[in-house]
Every structure is written in C-alpha cells, then in structure tokens.
A and B are shown apart, each in its own frame.
Chain A
Amino acid sequence: MTENVYVVSAAMIPFGKHRTSSYVGLAVSPLIDALQSAGVQKSDVDAVYVGHAYGGMMTGQRITKEIGLGTVPTVNIDNACSGGATALHEAWMAIGQGLIDVAVVIGVEKLTQFGGGTLPLSPEDREVKQGIVMPAVYAMRATRYLHDTEATVEDLALVSVKARRHGALNPFAQFRKEVTVEEVLAARSIADPLTLLMCCPTGDGAAVIVLASERARNRLGTPRGMRVAASVLHSGQVAEGYRDMTKPEITYESAHDAYAQAGIGPGELDMIETHDAFSIAELVYYEALGLTEKQSAVALLRDGRTTFGGDVVVNPSGGLLAKGHPVGASGVAQVAEAFWQLTGQAGARQVTDARWALTHVTGGGTAGLDHGACTIHIFEAA
C-alpha cells in the first residue's frame, strides 16, 4: 500500500432484537452519525462498502438512498460473518492504492427476520444437507480441545462469564447482565458440551465507520482516530482428509500476515476483539493469534491475563457472546469498539492507554473448510 488509511469515525446502534426496524431502519442513524462525527459531507464520500449476509438485493443502496448518498460506487459484500470486515478490507485497498480518499463502511444484519434458531446456511452445501449447523461445528471443536488439553467444561463457561462481565459495562451490548460459571453450566444444552450461554445470541445490528486517506484526514481536520496498520483477508483451504479442528489454520495464517504487515507482534496489543461466536472459539483463538502456545490458552484465561488489568484485554466489548452477533455487522462493530478504545471514548470499559488493537472475524461453515473467510485488522491510535 502506498497511502496510510485512517478510521476517522464510528457509530453503532446497540445490538439487540429490533423487530420493528428493517435493514434500512437499523443502519440509517449510525450512517448519519458516523458522517457527522467525522465532519464528512455526503459529497466528500467516494465509495460505500456494505457487509451483510441476509439483507437481500441492493442492501447498501436501500440504506444510502435515504440520505441521498448516491452516484458513487456502492458495493454489497456477503462473506458470512466476515462480510463487514471484508467491506472494510475493500475500502482500505481502494484508499491505500490512492484510488479514492473517503469511504463509508456499513455492516448491517437483521437476524430476527428468521424468528430464532441457528443461522440458515446454504442448502447447496453437502454437510448442510446432512444437518450441520454452526453450534455443531464449534461443539466438535470443543470436544476435541477438551480431549487434547487440560481445559475443562468449566473453562468454557469461564469464557462466557468474562464476556458477560465485559458486556455489562457496554451500552452497545445485547446482554448486560453478569452470569456465573454455575449459571452457564446449568443453561440448556445446545450442542454438547456447549450450553446456551456458551453460544452467541442472534440479534439485529448496524455499525458504520468512515475511512479516510491521510490527505483527506488533514483536509477534513478530524482530530482523533486510528491508522489501519494491517488488513488481511484469507479464504479457507479445503482438506479432504484429516484436519486439526483445534488449530484453525485460516486464523493462524491471517494473523501471521497481519503481524508482518503491521510490523508488530501480539505482545504489543492492548486489546483484541476476536470472533468468540461460541466460548471454545476464544480459547482456540488465543493460540491462533499468538498470545500463547498451542494447547495452553486456558492458563491465560484462568490467570485473568485477557481481561482488564491483564496483558491484553480480549473482547472488552463483551464480544459476540455478550454483545451479540448480527453476522454482517459484527466485523464493523469490532472496529467501532477498537476506535472508541483507541480514542478514549469507551467509558466504563476503557482499556487504559490503549494504543494497538486487533480485530478478528471468521465466517462461514462450508464442508471441507476450516472457515470460509477470515479477516484480521490491526489498528494504531493516531
């Protein structure tokens, strides 16, 4: 990349069950708020990138037309849970290559349209036809992880306890009540060994960020923000035979590339928003993101090294487990959290002196792949 790219504003609605709002109703307010807080007029915007999975045709244009933000390219991006972060990646590429100066990135999803239950997956997929659902994928990952390591089901519960404790401090979180290990274990089973409280809730959400080149940032005079130090998007690689489900290669490889691009290591990070769709994911991702050696994640969790006061705060927002996971919106919401943390706007959940942040979101259950997509971003306060 030849140009530095900055996030200059973020806006978001609280994630939750917003049954009376459409995709447009979810996204228009944060769109206006993100533009206004950046001091960006709609005539300043060069392109719009919209991540969603279930919004239907022209989701982005339906949103932007409400404020007359037309003419410029609008790109609709479905990459399952990575859709929002993929939208950011595309915007970063366009600005970084000097093609455009200002881009709006929208992540939006309305899961209450499905009336509950697991996410609808593509009925064309071989394993989906056989009945696979996302909780089953992660439950099998958990079963193998508990078999291979000293981790216990109580540790899986502890991930949820931490997420809820963080989420209780976050006005944008869907769940704002703390839970105990006993409550998590006593919740109804979803896919053994995962209980309901070890699974992220479905819900609705929208988050918007504005990206600018250094040139535009100076012209707009935006006071605070963060530099995109790395933006990496990978797709899953097929395995016809053995795959170690506790070693998600797509995240290992994406993280490796992201650290190389940013020129830092995991030790520099002050906060991480990781894809904790199910509690086992957080443990596996401590290892994949290089916070610790393989099979040793549980020590980090038990010793409190990934919460406030620890080495690095993982999911200060409450993560997907507490904040909620409206799939196409989640990747942008993670970046909004990083923005507020790195600009000192995170209130009660502020990570002290946060300078470096990483966001990570994988997406998609597809037969033969670890995941369909993985997006990792690293940001530096600037």
Chain B
Amino acid sequence: MTVQPEAQISAPIADLESDSLLGDFPEGPRLVGTLCAQCGQTMIGTRVACSTCVSRDVSRIALPATGVLYSFTRLHVGGTDVRPIGYVDLDDGVRTLADLREDGAPLQPDVRVALGVDGDGWFFAPAADD
C-alpha cells in the first residue's frame, strides 16, 4: 500500500465567541453580515462559508441600517409586557429578525424602518424621514 500524505485536520469554528449581531464599523454600529467574494451573496451574521456556493472566501461587512418591515407581531406570552418583534428586509435584501419600537409611526407591513441602538441592545423603529 502506498503511504499517502496525512489526513488534513479540520478546524472548529469559534462561533460562540460573540452572540451579538451588533458590531462596530467606521459608519457606526451596524448589524454584522458576511459577503461572499466568490458569488457576491450577502448573509446575516458571521459565517465561515457561503451558503450559496460553499466558498470560504468570505468577509465581514456592515449591513445597512435601514430596511422595510415585512411583517410583525406583538408578543404577549411570558408575562405582562408586550414585545413587538418582526422581520426586517434590509436595503441589501438581507432579512433579520428584530425587536421593534413603535413610539414613532404605527407599525405595519412595508413601513420603512431604521436601526436604533440602546446600550448593548438594538432594535428597529419606523424611520423618521419616511
């Protein structure tokens, strides 16, 4: 039997090092995304491989701070508080689940929303300029 090169060692990914989607970027705090250099796919969160083309040539990017509210609900479960949450389609097409604030314009599908930051937390609220 021919002795082959030793089997390659796969490396685990430290995906638990940060559980926050919010990152610091030159343009300010933004949601963290990943861009594939191979096929151009943009994804939410920190990824090590492209979910479209499986390329590992990916990099960390800031996602847009504005988008459109796709749908939402007000959660009444688990206590007396009401917690509005919804899916936001960011301006680059990436969808994220988000806590919502409704102290501005009323929430409804297709309303434009913008990222807000509150300490370590983040939320989306109807955009002031729309």
Q: Give the size of the chain B interface in residues (CB under 8 angstroms).
A: 25
Please measure, in the bound complex, the distance between the C-alpha atom of A65 and the C-alpha atom of B10, giving whole angstroms. Answer: 19
The A interface is mostly helix, strand or loop, or mixed, namely mixed
Does B1 sit at the interface, judged by CB under 8 A?
A: yes
Inside 8 A of B16's CB, which chain A residues have their CB?
19-22, 25
Taken together as a complex, chains A and B put the C-alpha atoms of A358 and B16 apart, in Å, by 36
List of A residues within 8 angstroms of B5 by Cβ: 345
Majority-rule SS of B interface residues: loop
Q: Report yes or no: A66 in contact with B1, Cβ–Cβ below 8 A.
A: no
CB of B6 within 8 A of CB of A346, answer yes
Q: Indicate if the CB atoms of B1 and A354 lie closer than 8 Å.
A: yes
Chain B contacts for A345, CB-based, 8 A: 4-7
Contact flag A30-B10 (CB < 8 Å), given A20-B17, A354-B1: yes
A145 nearest CB across to chain B (Å) = 35
Instruction: Tell me whether A20 and B14 are in contact (CB under 8 A).
Output: yes
Contact with B along A199-226 (1 / 0, CB 8 A): 0000010100000000000000000100
Return the CB mask of A317-340 against B: 1 if under 8 Å, else 0: 000000000000000000010001
Residues of A within 8 A of B81 (CB): none
- Cβ–Cβ contact B11 & A29, under 8 A: yes
Partner of B56, one of A14, A21, A32, A35: A32
Q: Is the CB of B48 within 8 A of A68?
A: no
Contact surface of A with B, Cβ cutoff 8 Å: 10-14, 18-22, 24-26, 28-30, 32-33, 35, 37, 42, 65-68, 171-172, 204, 206, 224, 336, 340, 343-347, 350, 353-355, 381
Would you give 23 A-B contacts (Cβ < 8 Å), ordered by A?
A12-B7, A13-B10, A20-B15, A21-B12, A21-B13, A21-B14, A21-B16, A22-B16, A24-B15, A26-B13, A28-B13, A29-B12, A29-B13, A30-B10, A37-B8, A65-B51, A66-B51, A68-B50, A171-B6, A206-B10, A344-B4, A346-B6, A346-B7
